[in-house]
Copies of this chain bind each other. A is one copy, B any other.
């Protein structure tokens, strides 16, 4: 069903509730964990027609948009006013704001602006019984009851269907500088990132790459490796804002802590062309990895104090024939773990069983180091069976109670996020 507005969404939910038929809400279908895939004949409810873009509220620095508006559509809508959505993602042309809220999307700029939950100043949503809750005034201070907007954000369509969102916008930067720093080990890069977060207010990204990944991309993309990217561990830093970027960066580099010694000269890029030459190595990692054959892909986060130990421990839990590729958002403690050589394009039952063993071994290592088994991709159906690894029985019981409270008929996105009872 493709309803056109909130009232029609509510009518669909009420009809499904009365008929005891389950629903799967869909936005731009860019999710990575199966959270919007119908599995057992559920009604698929697309939010794409709810794509209204409200007037930009310049005094509040906010805008109200329909759940079906694409991220790119909203970015274009607010840019002329010197504003931006603080969370930006590669699939911006197809991913929708409603989907980004439902999955609490993150991405590269979380170190600066937080995840989607921080951009959400209010939502309108249809709960599992068909009732509509709407709280879109976007007040910065509003202590009148439970934070339904924050609760619905990241609930993966299991508590309610978000139909409209009031977004807090960020100032559009007027300058942008990219810096690459080389280190001889991950621990140094982690300490440098902590230092940058304290000293560079305009820090917008802190991405980590490893020498083998950089070489893989260079080969795959036919690009020469800049000197600054030849260290064991490279940190790609983006600084973006409205005043004095090079001074900020120079000040921070001059005061790097002793625990974060640089390996070689840093690269600083201030023109779009120079920046592209550096970002290419980070951005084409996934593509280069996929060229090795289908990887086992996991998206995890680790406490800063444990990440280096986790990376050291990882090879021991993998089969000897596996090839490990790591990269990610160091500023948020978010690593993308890719294991090649386990799956081929044949995807035989044996291979799939081995992949599951690898997946569980990596996720157990994550939990052993105090991390999260899903940094930003969510739980969906793909990871529901692993939820117990990082959430206690008491927490899962609280999740179930909240789910029953807001979706008493259990018709919203069954099988997603919570494992079967």
Contacts and interface: CB of A to CB of B under 8 A. Distances in A.
Interface stretch (A71-79, A223-231, A263-271, A368-376): A368-376
B59 A377 contact: no
Given A305-B59, A371-B137, A372-B137, A143 B377 contact: yes
Interface residues of A, number: 92
Contacts of A350: none
Nearest to A33: B143
Interface in A121-169: 127, 131-135, 137-148, 150-151, 153-155, 159
A415 interface: no
A247 interface: yes
A118 interface: yes
List the number of copies, as a whole number: 2
Contacts of A59: 190-191, 194, 303-305
Nearest to A395: B133
B131 A115 contact: no
A241 interface: yes
Given A118-B114, A244-B243, A303-B138, A143 B378 contact: yes
A111 to B, nearest CB: 8
B304 A57 contact: yes
Given A145-B417, A146-B159, A241 B333 contact: no
Contact of A139 (B139, B150, B303): B303
A146 B399 contact: yes
Given A59-B190, A305-B60, A395 B142 contact: no
Interface string A95-115: 000000001101000110011
A143 B139 contact: no
A251 interface: yes
B202 A201 contact: yes
A391 B122 CA distance: 13
A406 interface: yes
A144 B405 contact: no
A59 B304 CA distance: 6
Interface string A80-108: 00110000000000000000000110100
Interface string A349-390: 000000000000000000000111111111100000001001
A36 interface: no
Of A143, A387, A406, most buried by chain B (CB within 10 Å of CB) is A143
A253 to B, nearest CB: 14
Interface of A: 57-61, 82-83, 103-104, 106, 110-111, 114-115, 117-118, 127, 131-135, 137-148, 150-151, 153-155, 159, 171, 190-191, 194, 197-199, 201-202, 241-244, 247-248, 251, 301-305, 329, 332-334, 370-379, 387, 390-392, 394-399, 401-402, 404-406, 408, 417
Given A57-B303, A201-B202, 16 more contacts: A58-B194, A59-B303, A60-B304, A103-B143, A106-B143, A117-B147, A118-B118, A133-B394, A133-B398, A139-B371, A140-B334, A143-B372, A145-B396, A150-B150, A201-B242, A405-B405
Q: Which 9 pairs, one residue from A and one from B, show the smallest C-beta to C-beta distance? A: A59-B304, A401-B405, A405-B405, A141-B375, A142-B372, A150-B150, A140-B332, A131-B394, A143-B378
